Amino acid sequence: MRVLLTGGAGYIGSHTALVLLERGHEVVVLDDFSNSSREAVRRVEELTGKTIPVIEADLADREVATAALADVAFDSVVHFAGLKAVGESVAQPTRYYRVNIDSTLVLLDLMRERGVDKLVFSSSATVYGDPEYVPQDEAHPVGVGLTNPYGWSKFMNEQIIRDAQVAWPELGAVLLRYFNPVGAHPSGRIGEDPSGIPNNLMPFIAQVAVGKREHLSVFGDTYNTPDGTGVRDYIHVMDLAEGHVAALERIAAGVTTYNLGSGTGSSVLEVVRAFGEAAGREIPYVIAPARGGDVAETVANPTKANVELEWQTTRTLADACRDSWAWQSANPQGYTA
Ligand code: NAD
Ligand code: WQD
C-alpha cells in the first residue's frame, strides 16, 4: 500500500510511518509542522533506510491541501492531523473546531474525488467521557458529558466519517480509539517532543527525570481508586503503531471502531515508580489539586481489536518508561537540539 499519513511527522504518526515502512508499505507524509519537526521524518528515514516524501500543507485549507496533493499518488490514508491539547481547546475552541473538523471534511472530499476509499482515523478514548463502567468496550455510550472542545471534535469527527460512509458505501473507515499513548521507539531516536510545558503525564515525568523541571504535580489523590490517584490505560506507542498497520491491512467497506489499549490500568503513582526505576533516579512529586475535567479511571476493553485485528499489546509500562527515558535522556531538547 502507499499510505498518506496526515500529521505523519507527529508523535504517533512518526512511529506508525516507521512500522509501515518496516512492513514493506510506502508512506507519504502531509504535515503543516504546527506541532512537529521535519527532523522526526528524517530520523524515520535514517532508521528504516527508506525515503519519505514530505508535503508541507495545512490540511484544513481546502485549496492549499488540494493543490499540494494534486500530483501525489496514494491508496489509503491514516488521518492523524489535528490539534490535541485539551486545556488549549477550552481556551481556543474555534481554532480547535476549525482545524480538527475542517481537516477531516477536506480529506473526505479529496478522497472521494480521487477514489481513495480506505481511511484510518485517530479517535480517542475521550469520546467515552466519564465512563459508566470500566473497562470500556466499544459499545459503551459516547458523547455523554464531554468536558472540552477537543473531546467533542473527536466525537463529531466519528459522526462525520459515519455520515460520509453512508453517502459513499465503498468507503472503508476504521475509527481507532486510543487510550493513553506513551513511550518511544526503543532506539531513542524518535519520541514525543511536546512544545512548552507538557500536558501529559509521561513526558512531564521524563522532563523531571532529566532535570528540566523540579517536580511533578500529581493531580489529585482522593479519587475512588486503589491509591487515590487517577488510573489510565497506558499503551506503548509502538504497540499503537502496530495497531494501525493491522487495521489498514484488514480494512473493508463500512465503518468499524476499535479500542486500542492494553486492558490494564495504572495509577499516577505507579507510573512515577515505574519511571523512577527505568531512569535509575527518584522522581520528586507533590500532591496537587485534581485537574478540572479529569476522570478517576479509564481502561480499555481491547477484546474486539485482539480478535478481529489479530493485534494485541506486547509491551509493558516498564518497557514504555525505559524507551521514553532512552529518548528523553539522549534528546533533552527534543528534536531542536
Ligand atoms: P501530534 O501533535 O504529535 O501530531 C499531530 C500532527 O498533526 C503534528 O505533526 C501537527 O504538526 C500536524 N497538524 C496539526 N494540524 C495540522 C493541519 N491543519 N494540517 C496538517 N498537519 C497538521 O499528536 P499525536 O500525539 O501524534 O496525535 C496524533 C492524533 O492522535 C491526533 O489526531 C490526536 O488527537 C490523536 N490522539 C492522540 C492521543 C495522545 O495522547 N497523543 C490520544 C488519542 C488520540
Ligand atoms: C494521565 C493521568 C492526570 C499530568 C489526555 C486526553 C486524552 C488523550 C490522552 C488525546 C491523569 C495525571 C497528568 C501531570 C498528573 N489525548 N497527571 N500530573 O488526561 O488521561 O488524557 O491525553 O486524545 O484525550 O484527555 O492523560 O497524560 O494528561 O494524564 O497527575 O502533570 O496523569 O490527572 O490522572 P489524560 P494525561
* Domain-located, residue 267: no
Ligand 2 atom at shortest distance from the alpha carbon of 267: 34
Q: Which position among 150, 178, 223, 258 bears the catalytic label?
A: 150
Asked if pLDDT for residue 152 goes beyond 70, the answer is yes
Average the pLDDT over 151-174 and give the result: 98
Cell 485539551 -> residue: 86
Tell me which residue has cell 477536506: 106
In the reported structure, the alpha carbon of residue 276 is separated from the centroid of ligand 2 by a whole-number distance in angstroms of 19
Which structural domain range is residue 115 located in?
2-183+234-261+300-314
CB of 151 sitting under 6 A from ligand 1: no
What pLDDT digit, counting tens, does each position of 194-238 carry?
999 999 999 999 999 999 999 999 999 999 999 999 999 999 999
Confidence of residue 111 (pLDDT cuts 50, 70, 90): very high
Nearest ligand, CA 219? 2
Task: Please state the rounded mean pLDDT for residues 22-30.
Answer: 98
Give me ligand 2 centre to Cα 95, in Å.
21
Q: How confident is the model at residue 294 (pLDDT cuts 50, 70, 90)?
A: very high
Whether the CB of 119 sits within 6 Å of ligand 2: no
Residue 337: what pLDDT? 64
Closest-lying ligand 2 atom to the alpha carbon of residue 271? 32
Average pLDDT over every residue of 264-289? 98
Q: What's the CA gap between 88 and 64, in Å, rounded?
A: 25
Considering every ligand atom shown, identify the ligand nearest to the alpha carbon of residue 229 and give its number.
2
Residues 300/231, Cβ–Cβ less than 8 Å: no
CB 131 within 8 A of CB 295: yes
| Residue 325 host element (H or E) | helix 317-330
d(CA 47, CA 109): 34
3-state secondary structure of 271: helix
286 has which bridge partners? 217
User: Judging by beta carbons within 10 Å of its beta carbon (0-12, 13-18, 19+), is residue 235 exposed, middle or buried?
Assistant: buried
Percent of the chain residues topping a pLDDT of 90: 99
Contact present, 131 and 296 (Cβ < 8 Å): no
Tell whether 128 is covered by a domain: yes
Mean per-residue pLDDT, 12-41: 98
Query: How many CA atoms does the CB half-sphere of 157 hold within 13 Å?
Result: 38
pTM: 0.98
Cα 93 to averaged position of ligand 2 atoms, centre (Å) = 19
**Contact (Cβ atoms closer than 8 angstroms) between residue 72 and residue 55:** yes
DSSP 28: E
Tell me the average pLDDT across 100-125: 98
Please compute the mean of the pLDDT values over residues 44-51 and round it to a whole number.
98
Q: Which cell numbers in the block locate residue 313?
A: 499489546
With a 6 A CB cut-off, is 51 part of the ligand 2 pocket? no
Is 267's pLDDT higher than 90? yes
Closest ligand to 90 CA? 2
Indicate whether 335 belongs to any domain.
no
Phi-psi region of 228 (alpha: psi -120 to 50; beta: other; left: phi over 0): left
Length of the chain: 337
294 contacts 219 by C-beta, under 8 angstroms: yes
Give the three cell numbers for residue 16: 506508525
Q: Is 126 in the pocket of ligand 2 (CB under 6 A)?
A: yes
For ligand 2, atom 24, which residue shows the shortest CA distance?
A: 126
Protein residue whose Cα sits closest to atom 44 of ligand 1: 124
Residue 90 near residue 292 (C-beta atoms within 8 A): no
What's the 282 CA to ligand 1 centre distance in angstroms?
31
> Is 82 near ligand 1, meaning CB less than 6 Å away?
yes
What does pLDDT average to over the chain?
Answer: 97
- Judge whether 50 lies within some domain: yes
Q: Is residue 248 one of the residues assigned to a domain?
A: yes
Strands 266-267 and 231-232: antiparallel
CB 126 within 8 A of CB 181: no
Which DSSP state fits 79?
E
Q: Is 129 in the pocket of ligand 2 (CB under 6 A)?
A: no
Distance (Å) from CA 81 to ligand 1 centroid: 5
With respect to residue 13, please indicate whether it lies within any of the assigned structural domains: yes
Give the sign of the dihedral formed by CA 152, CA 157, CA 158, CA 164.
positive
CATH number at residue 48: 3.40.50.720
Angle at 134 between CA 227 and CA 271, to 5 degrees: 40
Residue 26 pLDDT: 98
Return the number of other C-beta atoms located less than 10 Å from residue 281's C-beta. 14
Q: Is 230 in the pocket of ligand 2 (CB under 6 A)?
A: yes
pLDDT in tens, 169-200: 999 999 999 999 999 999 999 999 999 999 99
| 234 part of the active site | no
Kind of pairing between the strands at 26-31 and 254-260: unpaired
Choice among 99-103, 124-128, 316-320, 333-337 with the minimum mean pLDDT: 333-337
In a domain, 175, yes or no: yes
Residue 283 lies in a domain: no
Tell me how many domains the chain contains.
1
* Ligand 2 atom closest to residue 268's alpha carbon, by position in its atom list: 32
Task: Inform me whether the pLDDT recorded for 117 exceeds 70.
Answer: yes
Q: Is the CB of 86 under 6 A from ligand 2?
A: yes
What per-residue confidence (pLDDT) applies to 268? 98
Probe ligand 2: pick from 128, 268, 285, max atoms within 8 Å of CB?
Answer: 268
